[in-house]
Structure 1
Amino acid sequence: MTTDPNRGIAPVQYGTSTTELVSSQGRTIIADAVVAKIAGIATREISGVFDVGGGTARVVGALRDRIPGARVNHGQGVAVEVGEKQAAIDIGIVAEYGVALHELAAGIRRNVIAAVERMTGLEVTEVNITVYDVVLFDENEQPGETDGRPRVQ
């Protein structure tokens, strides 16, 4: 394993790509926005994730939700660096209260790596997860039954 000169540390190896992105017949370039969208969708699939993104991203997303006909930005809260064969991903989340955060992060990491590697052929070298907040639900509410706002205490 070589050291990544941009990060100063050895990247973690999660798997290998089986699809050639560069061949004698041409080159396939995967845009950062595509990888971010795949990672965002894969993150939202994990139970215990209330929302994706930090404060500013969530405010912008909430404003967008109020606009009729506006679409969800699946790449919200996800930052990626895509090279010719590898990708590094940073994800910010808001978790549901009571979820074991280290297990949630591990589940997100596994799902994101599997989705990105399967769909793009890129090797995912790292998935960094930042938990920005936890949402507490009322006793009578179940996750997914709220209006998108945490309970005020």
Structure 2
Amino acid sequence: MSTQTAPVAKDVSTPRTGEAPRATTSVSDGRTGADQPAANRGRTSIADIVVVKVAGIAAREIPGVYDMGGGLSRSIGAVRDRVPGGRSNVGRGVKVEVGERQTAIDLDLVVEYGAPVMDVAQDVRENVVSAVERITGLEVVEVNVTVNDVRLPDDEEDSSQQNGTRVE
């Protein structure tokens, strides 16, 4: 008579030797076992970058927000956006701190001239909290908004004006 042993489950949550740990957050502590409902089997982890991207997209949806990030990151982002095949960085200007069930978010904004800064900041804060809580399930404890710059109407970045050629 032969005995069989059940295969041992491999722990994939800890990094292998030589690998950097991934920044993730456990949102649900699922249980294992056939007696548990299917929705409770296993656990869900959310990487910090998910919160960064959701917050960045939500902030950019608000009218009056021209761009995000500090001066240097915007300059690097502008170059990156012009490179063929380059993708814009929706996380530029967003910093997050994620715990097990909560997150805190810091945003750096550039606001359009004429837009009421306090109203834009409030609308950004409300939209970011709503989007992050709805999409990730994490509780947002604070959203700090820093307005780094104002985009003036004279700052038109029309490439035809900047590259004013003298000859055809």
What's the C-alpha RMSD, in Å, of the aligned pairs? 1.8
Residue 147 of structure 1: CA displacement? 3.0
CA distance in 1, matches of 2:121, 2:73: 19
Distance 1:137 1:120, change over 3 A: same
Q: Secondary structure at the match of 1:131?
A: strand
Aligned pairs (5 A) from 1:77-92: 77-92=93-108
How does the TM-score come out when normalised to structure 1? 0.76
Which residue identity does 1:45 align to in structure 2? Answer: E
Instruction: Quote the residue 2:132 is aligned against.
Output: 116
1:102-139 Cα shifts (integer Å, max 9, x gaps): 1111000000000000000000000000000001114x
Distance 1:148 1:43, change over 3 A: farther
Larger radius of gyration: 2
* Stretches of 4+ aligned residues off by more than 4 angstroms: none
Which residue identity does 2:71 align to in structure 1? Answer: G
Residue 32 of structure 1: CA displacement? 1.1
CA distance in 2, matches of 1:96, 1:132: 11
Aligned pairs (5 A) from 1:53-64: 53-64=69-80
Q: Does 1:31 align with 2:38?
A: no
Residue 44 of structure 1: CA displacement? 0.4
CA distance in 1, matches of 2:43, 2:138: 13
Instruction: Quote the residue 1:96 is aligned against.
Output: 112
Q: Does 1:130 align with 2:162?
A: no
CA distance in 2, matches of 1:148, 1:121: 41
CA distance in 2, matches of 1:148, 1:132: 22
* Among 140, 147, 151, the residue aligned to 2:157: 147
User: Which structure has more RCO (C-alpha within 8 Å, separation ≥ 6)?
Assistant: 1
Q: Is the Cα–Cα contact under 8 Å of residues 29 and 84 in structure 1 kept in the other structure?
A: no
Q: Does 1:21 align with 2:38?
A: no
How does the TM-score come out when normalised to structure 2? 0.69
Residue 148 of structure 1: CA displacement? 7.4
Count of aligned pairs between the two proteins: 124
Distance 1:148 1:80, change over 3 A: farther
CA distance in 2, matches of 1:106, 1:55: 22
